[in-house]
Amino acid sequence: MNAVLNHLLQSTLFAGLAALLAFLFRKNFARIRYWLWVAASLKFLVPFSLLLALGSHLGWIPLRRVIHTMTVTVTETAPQTNPIVLNLGAPAESVHPTDWSLLLPALWACGFIAVLFHWWRRWRTIHTAVRQSSSLTAGREFETLVRLGAGRIRLRSSTAALEPGIFGIVRPTLLLPDGIAAHLDEAQLRAVMAHEVCHARRRDNLFACIHMVVEALFWFHPLVWWLGARLVEERERACDEEVLNLCREPQAYAEGILKVCRFYLESPLACVAGITGANLKHRIERIVTMRTGKRPGLGGRLLLAGAGLLSLLTPITIGLLTAPVSRGQAKSAYEVVSIHQNKSGTRGGQFNTEASGLTVTNMPLQTIIKVAYGLQDYQIAAGPAWLETDRYDIAAKGPGPLRDDDQPRMMQALLADRFKLAVHRESKEMQGYALVVTRSGFKLSASKADGDNWARTGRGSLTCQGVSMSRLASILAGRLGRPIVDATHIDGAFDFKLEWTPDPGQPLGPKERAEPLPADDNSSGPSIYTALQEQLGLKLEARKASIEVVVIDHIERPSEN
């Protein structure tokens, strides 16, 4: 949904730029404004993400970058900060009381089908008229068409009371109503047919058809319908200017248009270019007074060229600048990898990522997958039991200095290559929580630590320094095995210690699983839910959540090296 909204915003801004340029070139040739509106229409079908992707594929060009070194440590042996920046605790999606994922597509589909049906009914009228028409290979109309140098255009006569129009895109057909030559003199007939020939040469039907697709896909956006009206207006004016330059008979041309309006109906389809479109009164005034646009000067041509290049090069440049440093775009694989199963039987382990690569000591594969994909335990579905029992030592060295966002992709590639991991993503609805402030009020004070933040977990305890509410929600999500979103609307970082009596059925972190149960275990203490309310002034409210899960389709134990 965010991608669709982003694309609509980009297209709207692009159309605004086209409108600004059209205003600046309002005294120039109409064809300039027409192509600006065509570009605005095409933008709805071409997301900038395609150009961003193109730029990222060109990312092998050497660029000066600042590489930030990251050290991530996960350990089971001692209290630790757990500063993993890979978002192990954040739910994949926010919790929403209502699921719009099916309603909105259904509404869009209804509108899409309605617009297509509307166009189909109108197209059928034109198609019937063409099918029932007869070919013209002689007479005044045919001779006029030959003199206009448009012999490749097929000429047909129809009994339908439709205005002259060009039908078709690949093999255009000029459809004339029967007896039109009896209503128009030689000059008027030549001007009217010249108008239609201009439409065929300019491929106006093709771009009108493309915009009809835009209107069907984005029927809910008023801007696309406004663009359609501008396209018709400027294409008719552009053809008027060409006819006046060709025939130099404005009076005959204006009279010919008026006679067509008197005797025939306007074409019902925008992709069947007729002669009576746009504002007729203003058109006749411009034709009679020979008010045609002028050629833009050097400054205007440079402005158009610059705007076109800017619209293309900006997303490409962004993609180029955000691409990985090396030509493989793609530090997608480590250069040297060593994998061994750890059979020491101990519970302690470490997980370190830094600029040089990756070091894993005595960690279960489940944890490695979580880090690689940025998941919680409840976001991993299926998979064999040995994911949690088999432990591995992994040493991997990168091809060069690695950025923060290189590591997850490279870990995923390592899992696919050495563990034959194959996954797919799907949405799953499950019970979750929202972290909110209690009625008694928030009980924490702002942290006095200067940029030093950490969180230490123990069996029934959580000690934090400089931790935000969103991070607390992430930690609690891992602790409770449920998606939790921060709904406190409280910014800032806080120092606190939370203590509770662990529930025997509550998920434990790796450190807690390694700790022995205390001899004086007191089960009468507060639960984590009660401790949150009494000690922090926070509580967890139950809400349904639609989250993204990673389903393991296939995985194998690796061959050691």
51 versus 476: the higher-pLDDT residue is: 476
Strand 422-437 with 484-486, pairing: parallel
Q: What is the band of 502 on the pLDDT scale with cuts at 50, 70, 90?
A: confident
User: 537 and 460, same structural domain?
Assistant: yes
398 domain-assigned: no
Q: Which residues contact 416 (CB under 8 A, 6 or more apart)?
A: 422
pLDDT digits (tens, 9 = 90+) for 506-516: 555 544 444 44
Does the structure show a pLDDT above 50 at 500? Answer: yes
Provide mean pLDDT across the span 264-284: 66
401 domain-assigned: no
Q: Which of 180, 199, 168, 198 is nearest to 136 (CA)?
A: 180
pLDDT at site 517:
44
Q: Is 468 helix (H, G, I), strand (E, B) or coil?
A: coil
pLDDT at site 329:
40
**Structural domain for 137, as ranges:** 104-282
Domain boundary (221, 251, 282) is at 282
Rounded Cα distance, 455 and 141, in Å: 86
Q: Where are the alpha helices (DSSP H) in 272-404?
A: 280-288, 298-321, 365-373, 386-389
User: 315 and 245, same structural domain?
Assistant: no
Q: Which residues contact 450 (CB under 8 A, 6 or more apart)?
A: none
pLDDT at site 265:
67
pLDDT at site 505:
57
Provide mean pLDDT across the span 53-63: 51
User: 145 and 43, same structural domain?
Assistant: no
Rounded Cα distance, 459 and 502, in Å: 7
Rounded Cα distance, 533 and 296, in Å: 71
Does the structure show a pLDDT above 80 at 77? Answer: no
How many distinct structural domains can be found in the chain? 3
Rounded Cα distance, 285 and 185, in Å: 21
Q: Which two tokens stand for residue 375?
A: 């998941």
81 domain-assigned: no
pLDDT at site 525:
79
Rg (CA), the chain: 34
Rounded Cα distance, 9 and 346, in Å: 55
* 432 phi/psi in degrees, rounded to 5: -135, -165
User: 304 and 277, same structural domain?
Assistant: no
Does the structure show a pLDDT above 80 at 55? Answer: no
What is the H or E stretch that residue 31 is in? helix 30-43
User: 541 and 517, same structural domain?
Assistant: yes
User: 302 and 232, same structural domain?
Assistant: no
Using CA atoms in the order 176, 177, 183, 189, what is the torsion angle rounded to 10 degrees? -10
User: 209 and 276, same structural domain?
Assistant: yes
pLDDT at site 50:
67
376 and 91 in contact (C-beta within 8 Å)? yes
Q: Is 557 helix (H, G, I), strand (E, B) or coil?
A: coil
Q: State the distance between the two ends of the chain, measured CA to CA, in whole angstroms.
A: 45
436 and 428 in contact (C-beta within 8 Å)? no
Provide mean pLDDT across the span 67-75: 37
User: 247 and 128, same structural domain?
Assistant: yes
User: 227 and 124, same structural domain?
Assistant: yes
Does the structure show a pLDDT above 80 at 85? Answer: no
Domain boundary (223, 257, 282) is at 282
DSSP characters over 59-97: TTS-----PPP--EEEESSS------TT-SSS-SS---S
289 versus 92: the higher-pLDDT residue is: 289
Q: Which of 376, 164, 388 is nearest to 263 (CA)?
A: 164
438 and 537 in contact (C-beta within 8 Å)? yes
pLDDT at site 280:
74
Q: Where are the alpha helices (DSSP H) in 289-339?
A: 298-321
163 domain-assigned: yes
86 and 371 in contact (C-beta within 8 Å)? yes
pLDDT at site 37:
93
User: 153 and 15, same structural domain?
Assistant: no
Q: What is the band of 20 on the pLDDT scale with cuts at 50, 70, 90?
A: very high
Half-sphere exposure of 535 (CA within 13 A, CB side): 17
398 versus 314: the higher-pLDDT residue is: 398
Q: What is the band of 51 on the pLDDT scale with cuts at 50, 70, 90?
A: low
Q: Which of 422, 378, 368, 370 is nearest to 547 (CA)?
A: 378
Can you give the three-state secondary structure of 154-174, one letter per residue? EEEEECCCECCEEECCCCCEE
Longest dimension (CA), the chain: 111
420 domain-assigned: no
Other CB atoms within 10 A of residue 515 CB: 13
547 and 483 in contact (C-beta within 8 Å)? yes
311 domain-assigned: yes
pLDDT at site 149:
82
pLDDT digits (tens, 9 = 90+) for 354-404: 888 899 999 999 999 998 998 888 899 888 999 999 999 999 998 888 877
Q: What is the mean pLDDT of the chain?
A: 80
Rounded Cα distance, 157 and 165, in Å: 11
Q: Which two tokens stand for residue 479?
A: 């602790």
User: 266 and 156, same structural domain?
Assistant: yes
pLDDT at site 114:
93
User: 304 and 259, same structural domain?
Assistant: no
196 domain-assigned: yes
- One-letter amino acid for residue 314 of the chain: T
267 domain-assigned: yes
Number of H helices, E strands in the chain: 18, 16
pLDDT digits (tens, 9 = 90+) for 213-265: 999 999 999 999 999 999 998 998 888 888 888 878 888 888 888 888 877 76
pLDDT over 90 percentage in the chain: 31
Q: Where are the alpha helices (DSSP H) in 322-380?
A: 365-373
Provide mean pLDDT across the span 144-156: 84
Of the listed ranges 32-36, 65-69, 445-449, the least confidently predicted one is: 65-69
Rounded Cα distance, 304 and 39, in Å: 12
